[in-house]
């Protein structure tokens, strides 16, 4: 690519869109894209704590507000990728879509960022014990995206699911 950047930002509590393997690929790619003292900023919250420890996980959830929303249902689980498949249903239109979600704890993305960055910290939001920003500084550049070949178990899984 040739161009390096000062900062990479993943904002909006977006890590659930990445499974355990794709977030490693993301962090490797970001580390390659940053300058020597570049920063990766990841807004993160500990979903595992709320769901497993506090017991807030629900198989059926209404997600939205009074005017617009969807019902989401757990319809599957992939133990190799660590993702839950959820079906989102718009109760007004009947439209359906499925999405794989990873309910990250806080320690896992911190530890994975540490593989690719020399200095990793977590800064809590005021009054939010388990939500804030992961700050990863100074890419290590020892493990590269091209070094990460698809694990055999995921290749086999893809082949089994192919039509």
- pLDDT tens for each residue of 52-77: 777 777 788 898 998 899 999 999 99
Q: Which tokens sit at 45? A: 């919250």
What one-character-per-residue DSSP string does 88-112 give?
Answer: EE-TTT--EEEEEE----SHHHHHH
**Mean of pLDDT values over 116-142:** 95
pLDDT the model gives residue 87: 96
The pTM (predicted TM-score) of the whole model is 0.86
């Amino acid at each position: 690519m040739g161009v390096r950047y000062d900062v990479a930002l993943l904002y909006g509590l977006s890590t659930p869109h990445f499974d355990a393997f794709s977030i490693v690929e993301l962090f490797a790619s970001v580390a390659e894209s940053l300058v020597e003292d570049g920063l990766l900023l990841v807004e993160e919250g500990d979903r595992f704590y709320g769901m497993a420890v506090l017991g807030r996980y629900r198989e059926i959830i209404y997600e939205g507000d009074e005017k617009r929303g969807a019902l989401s249902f757990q319809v599957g689980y992939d133990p190799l990728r660590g993702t839950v498949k959820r079906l989102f249903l718009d109760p007004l239109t009947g439209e359906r879509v499925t999405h794989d979600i990873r309910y990250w704890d806080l320690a896992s993305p911190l530890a994975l960022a540490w593989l690719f960055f020399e200095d990793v910290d977590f800064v809590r939001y005021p009054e939010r014990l388990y939500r804030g920003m992961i700050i990863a500084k100074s890419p290590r550049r020892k493990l590269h995206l091209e070094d990460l070949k698809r694990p055999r178990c995921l290749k086999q899984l893809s082949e089994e699911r192919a039509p």
